[in-house]
Amino acid sequence: MPVHLERPPEHAHVALLRLDRPERGNSLDPQMLSELAAAWHEIARDDALRVAVLTGTGARAFCTGMDMQSTIPLAQKLARGERIDEPSFAGLRSVATALLAGFDLGKPLLCAVNGHARAGGFDLMLASELRFAAEHATFALEEVALGLYPTGNATVLLPRQIGWVHAQELLLSAQPISAARALAIGLLNDVVAPGEVLPRTLHSADTIAANAPLAVRETRRGVRELLGLPLAEAWRRQEEIGSPLRRSADAREAQRAFIEKRKPNWTGR
């Protein structure tokens, strides 16, 4: 299986999802799309998992996007109205969920970008909350050079996450940028040595997972929901989301733990 979902015992409440097709740059063929979509559904359903980490196998690529020898030709056949086999059709039907384009994971996602992130790999990264990359990683949206529209997350999320001119440069030039450049324009949290990418990301995941799970979930939801609202409505909606948490069992537990000088025992209620 080219997609591996792990629950590392040393990282409580953290899901580690690994793209494992290094000989093809961890590119996404139909089988991988189906498995990736299924893994996201499993993570979303599992209340014991509070944070997810996505990475790739090998030192060369995080994910180089759709497989040019299988997925792209099959998608073009489908667009022309031609029949394709059922497993391939199922994989193509899973693209939006696999890329987290319109599918809400419901919990923070962190990316350990171990190598090049191109096209669909870039899309996956855009769906995450935090990103750490290896020094040699590069980033590119290459769709316009292939005569395609970037229908993943790029035109929807990228201009909301970084400056307009930087987003347009990436979308319209199809040229790769370095990890240092990605950090400078606000696309990444940090750039580290290759061997430190996953440990650095897991450390951040552990930090998030140690906080009150209900508060983390609702804060993440609030940031995403409020972003597109008019200011007055955002203030109102913020209070609607925040008020129930002030009455939560976890908030009372945090107060008791502070007084008793101990770590809180979260129940997610």
Residue 238 parent element (H or E)? helix 231-246
Check residue 208 and give its pLDDT.
Answer: 98
pLDDT band at 136 (very low <50, low <70, confident <90, very high): very high
Question: Mind listing the pLDDT tens digit for each residue in 165-201?
Answer: 999 999 999 999 999 999 999 999 999 999 999 999 9
The pLDDT of residue 52: 98
Q: What is the dihedral of CA 256, 260, 262, 265, to 10 degrees?
A: -30
The amino acid at residue 232 is A
Residue with the two structure tokens 């020898």: 69
Spatial strand order in the sheet of 109-113: 3-6, 14-19, 51-56, 109-113, 130-134, 190-192
Q: At what angle do helices 71-79 and 30-45 cross, to 10 degrees?
A: 90
Domain with CATH 1.10.12 in the chain: 213-260
Read out DSSP for 139-164? EE--GGGGT---TTTHHHHHHHHS-H
> For residue 268, is pLDDT > 90?
no
pLDDT at 7 (0 to 100): 97
Calculate the average pLDDT of the chain: 94
Strand partners, 132: 112, 190
Token pair of 116 as six digits: 């090049």
- Structure confidence at residue 46 (pLDDT): 97
Please say if the pLDDT value at position 76 is more than 90: no
Give span(s): CATH 3.90.226.10, the chain: 3-209
Kindly give, in sequence order, each residue whose CB lies less than 8 Å from that of residue 225, ignoring residues fewer than 6 positions away: 237, 241
C-alpha atoms less than 13 angstroms from C-alpha of 104 in its C-beta half-sphere: 9
Whole-number pLDDT of residue 102: 87
| pLDDT band per the 50, 70, 90 thresholds, residue 84 | confident
* Residue that has been written with the tokens 């990736």 in this structure: 36
Q: pLDDT of 213-255, one tens digit each?
A: 999 999 999 999 999 899 999 999 999 999 998 999 999 988 8
pLDDT value of residue 18: 98
Q: Which residues pair with residue 178 across a beta bridge?
A: 138
Q: What is the pLDDT of residue 78?
A: 80
Class of 3-209 in CATH: alpha beta
Query: For domain 213-260, is the CATH number 1.10.12?
Result: yes
Q: How is residue 178 written in tokens?
A: 């370095």
